[in-house]
Amino acid sequence: MRLIRFHKNYFLEVSSPGAERPLKKEKDFLNAIGKNVYIKTYEPILDEKEFEGILTSFDGEEVTLEVRIKTRKKTIVIPFEKVAKARLAITFS
Give the Cα separation of 57 and 33 in Å (integer). 6
The DSSP-derived string for 52-89 is: EEEEEEE-SSEEEEEEEETTEEEEEEEEGGGEEEEEE-
10 Å Cβ neighbour count for 33? 14
The alpha carbon of residue 27 and the mean position of all alpha carbons in its chain are separated, in whole angstroms, by: 13
Q: What is the set of domains in the chain, with CATH numbers? A: 19-88 (2.30.30.180)
Kindly give the confidence (pLDDT) of every residue in the chain, 93 residues in length, as a single tens digit, with 9 standing for 90 and above: 555 555 566 666 666 667 788 999 999 999 999 999 999 999 999 999 999 999 999 999 999 999 998 889 999 999 999 999 999 998 776
